[in-house]
Amino acid sequence: MTEPNLHPFIEYLYSLAERQDRAALAALRRGLGKPPGTVPDMYPYVVPWLPADLYRSEEAAYYLVAALFAFHPSHTDQGNMGDHMAAARDEGNNDSLERRFVALLSAHPDDLPDYLRQAVSFLRSKEIPINWERLFRDLKLWGHPERGDQIRKQWAASFWRYRKPEEE
């Protein structure tokens, strides 16, 4: 069962995981660590979903989300990357998690695939699901001067709101 109002591309990715289409997911995983849109094995699964007249950054979001989803298909309909990274906190020292998250927030659009791959790998190791619909929408706007800053602030607010000191 899929969540309401999902982007058709995200619904399609969910369907690949639900029916355990191992060949499709393997082809999409081949895009990990490669610049978005440069792995021909991904084309049959991504190109049919690309609308006409996309900006390069929007097209990159399709390829990036497809590869990351194939790597970690666990999904939720709640939260953003800030929420997901905050859910990975433990009782110990979280300085390295914060440094990792700040690096993700600071990432230039060209470097974002590497930082996101590391973040998704980390979340996968902690068995934390990802809101792929939200991530997809956020990535399409990451390089936009105003909206990209707004997304980064939303992620930051979600991550650090969990650290409000308790009143004694």
Complete domains list, the chain, with CATH = 8-162 (1.10.520.40)
The pLDDT score that the predictor gives to residue 93 is: 65
Residues linked to residue 35 through DSSP beta bridges, in sequence order: none
Q: How far apart are CA 28 and CA 70, in angstroms?
A: 6
Question: Could you read off the pLDDT of 77-88 as tens digits, one per residue?
Answer: 999 999 999 999
CA atoms within 13 A on the CB side of 99: 4
The pLDDT score that the predictor gives to residue 167 is: 43
Question: Could you read off the pLDDT of 63-115 as tens digits, one per residue?
Answer: 999 999 999 999 999 999 999 999 998 766 688 899 999 999 999 888 999 99
Q: How far apart are CA 28 and CA 67, in angstroms?
A: 5
Our measurement of the distance from residue 112's CA atom to the centroid of its chain's CA atoms, rounded to an integer in Å, reads: 10
Q: For residue 159, what are its two tokens?
A: 């991550």
Q: pTM (2 decimals)?
A: 0.90
